Chains A and B, each alone.
Chain A
Amino acid sequence: MLKDVTFGQYYPGKSLLHRTDPRIKLLILIEYLVFVLIASTELAMAATLLFTVFLVSVSGVRFGILIKSVKPLLFVLIFTAIINLFFTSGEGDPLFAWKFIKIYENGIRNAVFMLLRLVSLVLGTSVIVSFTTSPLQLTDAIESLLGPLKRIKVPVHEFAMMMSIALRFIPTLIEETNKIISAQKARCADFESGNVINRLKALIPILIPLFVSAVRRAEELADAMECRCYHGGEGRTKLKVMKAKAGDYIFLLVVTLVTVAIFFLDRITWSEAIGFCRDIFSK
């Protein structure tokens, strides 16, 4: 169950997206999120999908892994699609009606759009950031982008360090949780039956050992960090200095143009687009 979660996992590689400056990637991600969410016409959606396919293909992440990252969300995806399908009321006659269930043309459209949007969101976020950026690069990028806030005494370094350590310990704690669950099951613990209160109570033998162990880990880690001369962010240098290259800026520019293009595509309909093309060709 827990072992199928691929969120936040980094897959080492040397693809275009792996090489792109993580700060640029974060900015690209923001733009990407914007146009995925605004695309509401067929044209805009088609362009969005095309760009997502482009991102996936330059990420060098294996297809199987991508499928795995969408799989845990399958239920959410189907659920959202169904909600949209049945609960969108449209103008005119329903395409299908049986008792209280009515499906309108608009409903199908909304369901398909929502599905495509969610899949694009998951795939895009995965390939732009989580699969191609190591957690440390990511937190470095956040630290750097939020850097100006240090002047008004926001503890940006501490926040970034905490985040990177949290990411580092996610797999360890998932593994530990599974071990504790097995150990308590071997003592005949029952997590599956009874009412809500009983089920919550049944979690105590899992949560307490997990909490105790997390505290112990934190103490040991603090000692280990101190041993390695950690003394906060002051005077710290970096192995991987982020240096945005010309290519990175071009990439950002391209995505910005795509965003603008999609923004305009979203304003026009098919017939307008065809008319526009005809105008260009006739000139």
Chain B
Amino acid sequence: MSFIEARGIGFAYSPEEEKVINGIDLKIEKGSYVAILGHNGCGKSTLAKLLCGILLPTEGQILVDGLDTADDSLAFDIRKKCGMVFQNPDNQLVASIVEEDIAFAPENLGLPREEIRARVDAALKTVGMEEYADHATYKLSGGQKQRIAIAGILAMSPECIVFDEATAMLDPSGRKEIVAAMKRLNKEIGITVITITHYMNEAVEADRIIVMSGGEIIGDGRPEEIFSEVERLQSASLAVPQVTELLYLLEQDGHDLPRGILHAMDAADVLETYIGGHKNG
């Protein structure tokens, strides 16, 4: 069974308003790293909130590890399994001191003191912020604050973390810190990572990309597959990585180059072979 399963879900903020999510079916496997990509206002953040039960679908059903998010008595169990990191680092830290903030979730779970301590220390270590345990949260940089927010969720020992545009308000170095943290959580600890973003270079790090537009899913596949359809992405007001676009344009001109190359290094390899072959041939 999939870890998260959405069955024909729809959502509108009020009955009079237009639907933000329109008939989505989706399965997300345990331990996967999924990016949900889309332009501003395409419904991707709403979908994220639906997936971890902060919002309830107005149509259809969402199961998190087999538990229905609409069932109020399960809300607590679902939140424990599926945490969420939000966009604004300032608005999700509860306490003024780093370790007190991270302890917030385990305290709510009513864990014994020693267990809380162990979880706080482990979470701080995972995000590489051990030496900041007794620092004031408001003095940290944006990237550091977001890492504390991640640690705060990690301390719940969740199976899945949803990142709702968690890098949108950060500078490039902060963004790199968070993407590196996401990768580590997924590859080393085996946490299911779902990241909502409109940055291509973050989406390409995932194992699977879901493209959204107008409250619907318009593409779902491996990054190479998704980015090989350049026109389709552009029609959804999204860009592709520059090297992907370059190779695509060259291919359109009749050059025999592969599609779906996402990284500069891979593109250099492909071009080296192609230009070398061209000269010899």
Contacts and interface: CB of A to CB of B under 8 A. Distances in A.
Contacts of A62: none
Given A12-B135, A224-B86, A229-B76, A237 B116 contact: yes
B54 to A, nearest CB: 6
Interface residues of A, number: 32
B97 A136 contact: yes
Interface string B96-119: 110110011111111111001100
Given A12-B134, A168-B93, A168-B95, A239 B100 contact: yes
B44 interface: no
Contacts of A168: 93-96, 137-138
B120 A239 contact: yes
A10 B97 contact: yes
Contacts of B105: 228-229
A241 B104 contact: no
B175 interface: no
Contacts of A187: none
B120 A230 contact: no
B122 to A, nearest CB: 13
B115 to A, nearest CB: 9
Interface residues of B, number: 43
A34 interface: no
B83 interface: yes
B74 to A, nearest CB: 13
A221 B92 contact: yes
Interface string A231-243: 1000111111100
Given A136-B95, A217-B91, A227-B83, 4 more contacts: A136-B96, A229-B79, A237-B111, A239-B103
23 contacts: A10-B136, A12-B136, A135-B95, A135-B97, A136-B96, A136-B97, A136-B100, A164-B95, A168-B93, A171-B138, A224-B92, A224-B94, A227-B79, A227-B153, A228-B104, A229-B80, A229-B109, A231-B76, A236-B107, A238-B107, A239-B106, A239-B113, A239-B117
Interface of A: 9-10, 12, 134-136, 164-165, 167-168, 171-172, 216-217, 220-221, 223-231, 235-241
